[in-house]
């Protein structure tokens, strides 16, 4: 998950690149950047490494099925920002957003055994195939934003990303309106152009996987169930650090020198790039995915005397209010948001709530469950909502629900 350190690193890299660009290109235009240069930034290298680490493909298959399509999209995206205002509204923002969403979705998919309704044997056999579905769905949910621009080349020709990559100086502006249907259609056309034929043949051996990807790309996203759920959560997590206005001021982001004239207001349809003051629901989703990642990756200690996470009787017990304060501190958000965060977490209903929302536990110092104990309050979450059957931790023999 992208942290604030990476955000500021990315912003600093952008300012350096912007200075170099301004000294090298003709007035009112941007030069296309080579793929190697686009990938040089340290945070992008880090994200690509993370994607490779979360893949189960061989090096050859990874290069063909993931790396090559990803690089084609990066080369098309060049220095375009994701949005005119809000998150990722700087030169190169679209590439950063895409890499972060894809990497996050790839990691999240590892928390599930897919397809959901299949037997364990089928899930083990199809794990790599469904991981590819998640990667492609997340990739082209980002690439569809390329249709938000009007781009003019130095030769005065209009550029459209379905034709060819940018090969000459260009300038751009945001279109005043782009419908969700336009975005979905464009994203689907781009996907079928970029996804390698061998990958399509591979996916076609598992019809449900290819059907889910096709439905997602053509706009029937809610009907894909877990695919849409994972990609949506990845998007929420990626946007979470921008909830507190850490993006650059607009005047530093889109110079009038690179526009086609006075910019018309941008209308971002479909997934809205949400801002800080109305983000509390998204913060709840971000907390949930943060909790899953931190538990699965071992970043949160489990079953230790001062841990915020304990395992008991098939449930994950999260200690409150401490766990919320840990999240807020890591996200650099004010601790005053704790009550709002806790309420929206309860509305998500991931926890057991048949006896009210909160449970009380006693944490003893010995397995005889005698003598001194620490009283803890928190939520009981079914273990399979966070861990898979392959990575479930052992239960804490010192904990008792009262």
Domain ranges (residues) in the chain: 4-275, 281-401
**pLDDT class for 280, splitting at 50, 70, 90?**
low
Round to whole Å and give the CA distance between 61 and 135: 14
Per-residue pLDDT tens over the stretch 186-230: 999 999 999 999 999 999 999 999 999 999 998 898 898 889 989
**Between 249 and 398, residue with greater pLDDT:** 398
**What is the C-alpha R_g of the chain?**
23
Produce one character per residue of 368-399: b if its CB has 16 or more CB atoms within 10 Å, e if not. eeeeebeebebbbbebeebbeeeeebeebebb
Q: H helices of 83-206, where?
A: 93-109, 120-143, 180-194, 197-204
User: What CA–CA distances, in Å, run from 171 to 2, 115, 260, 268?
Assistant: 30, 44, 6, 20
Query: 281-401 is classed in which CATH architecture?
Result: Beta Barrel (2.40)
Per-residue pLDDT tens over the stretch 106-139: 988 888 888 887 888 888 889 899 999 999 999 9
Round to whole Å and give the CA distance between 278 and 332: 17
Per-residue pLDDT tens over the stretch 46-105: 899 989 988 888 999 999 999 999 999 999 999 999 988 878 888 889 999 999 999 999
Round to whole Å and give the CA distance between 382 and 318: 11
In degrees and rounded to multiples of 5, residue 312 shows phi and psi of -150, 125
Q: Concatenate the DSSP letters of all residues of 286-343 into one string.
A: HHHHHHHHHHHHT-S-BSSTT-SEEEETTEEEEETTHHHHHHHHHTT--GGGHHHHHH
Residue among 176, 107, 172 at smallest CA distance from 138: 107
- What is the distance between the terminal CA atoms of the chain, rounded to a whole angstrom? 36
Going by the DSSP 8-state scheme, the letter that residue 85 receives in this structure is S
- Write the class of the CATH domain 4-275: mainly alpha
- List 317's β-bridge partners, or say none: 310, 380
Give the contacts of 234 (CB within 8 A, at least 6 positions apart).
101, 102, 104, 105, 108, 138, 289
Q: How many residues make up the chain in this entry?
A: 402
β-bridge pairing 315-319 and 373-382: antiparallel
Round to whole Å and give the CA distance between 43 and 47: 6
User: What CA–CA distances, in Å, run from 145 to 2, 272, 308, 380?
Assistant: 20, 12, 40, 40
Question: What is the pLDDT, as a whole number, of residue 270?
Answer: 31
Round to whole Å and give the CA distance between 308 and 319: 5
Structure tokens given for 129:
């195939």
**Between 10 and 105, residue with greater pLDDT:** 105
**pLDDT class for 162, splitting at 50, 70, 90?**
confident
Question: What is the pLDDT, as a whole number, of residue 283?
Answer: 79
Question: What is the pLDDT, as a whole number, of residue 368?
Answer: 83
| Residue 131, number of CB atoms within 10 A of its CB | 22
**Mean pLDDT over the full length of the chain:** 81
Question: What is the pLDDT, as a whole number, of residue 144?
Answer: 92
């Amino acid at each position: 998950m992208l942290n604030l350190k990476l955000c500021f690193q990315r912003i600093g890299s952008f300012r350096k690149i912007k200075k170099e660009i301004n000294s090298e290109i003709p007035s009112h235009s941007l030069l296309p950047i080579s793929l190697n240069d686009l990938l040089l930034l340290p945070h992008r290298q880090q994200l690509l490494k993370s994607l490779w680490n979360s893949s189960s493909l061989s090096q050859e298959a990874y290069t063909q099925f993931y790396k090559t399509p990803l690089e084609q999209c990066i080369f098309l995206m060049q220095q375009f920002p994701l949005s005119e205002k809000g998150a990722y509204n700087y030169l190169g923002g679209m590439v950063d957003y895409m890499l972060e969403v894809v990497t996050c979705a790839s990691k999240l998919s590892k928390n599930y055994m897919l397809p959901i309704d299949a037997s364990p044997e089928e899930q083990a056999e199809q794990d790599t195939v469904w991981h590819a579905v998640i990667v492609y769905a997340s990739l082209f949910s980002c690439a569809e934003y390329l249709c938000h621009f009007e781009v003019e080349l130095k030769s005065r020709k209009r550029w459209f990303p379905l034709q060819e990559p940018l090969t000459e100086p260009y300038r751009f502006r945001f279109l005043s309106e782009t419908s969700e249907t336009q975005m979905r259609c464009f994203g689907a056309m781009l996907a079928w152009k970029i996804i390698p034929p061998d990958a399509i043949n591979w996916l076609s051996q598992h019809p449900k996987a290819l059907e889910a990807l096709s439905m997602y790309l053509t706009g029937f996203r809610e009907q894909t169930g877990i695919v849409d759920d994972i990609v949506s959560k990845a998007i929420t997590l990626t946007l979470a650090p921008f909830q507190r206005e850490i993006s650059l001021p607009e005047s530093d982001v889109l110079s009038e020198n690179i526009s086609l004239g006075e910019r018309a207001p941008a209308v971002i349809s479909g997934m809205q790039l949400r801002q800080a003051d109305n983000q509390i629901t998204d913060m709840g989703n971000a907390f949930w995915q943060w909790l899953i990642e931190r538990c699965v990756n071992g970043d949160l200690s489990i079953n230790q005397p001062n841990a915020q996470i304990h395992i008991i009787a098939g449930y994950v017990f999260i200690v409150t209010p401490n766990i919320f304060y840990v999240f807020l501190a890591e996200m650099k958000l004010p601790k005053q948001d704790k009550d709002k965060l806790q309420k929206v977490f309860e509305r998500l209903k991931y926890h057991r709530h048949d006896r009210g929302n909160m449970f009380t536990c006693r944490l003893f110092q010995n397995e005889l469950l005698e003598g001194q104990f620490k009283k803890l309050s928190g939520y009981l979450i079914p273990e399979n909502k966070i861990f898979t059957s392959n990575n479930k931790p052992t239960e804490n023999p010192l904990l008792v629900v009262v």
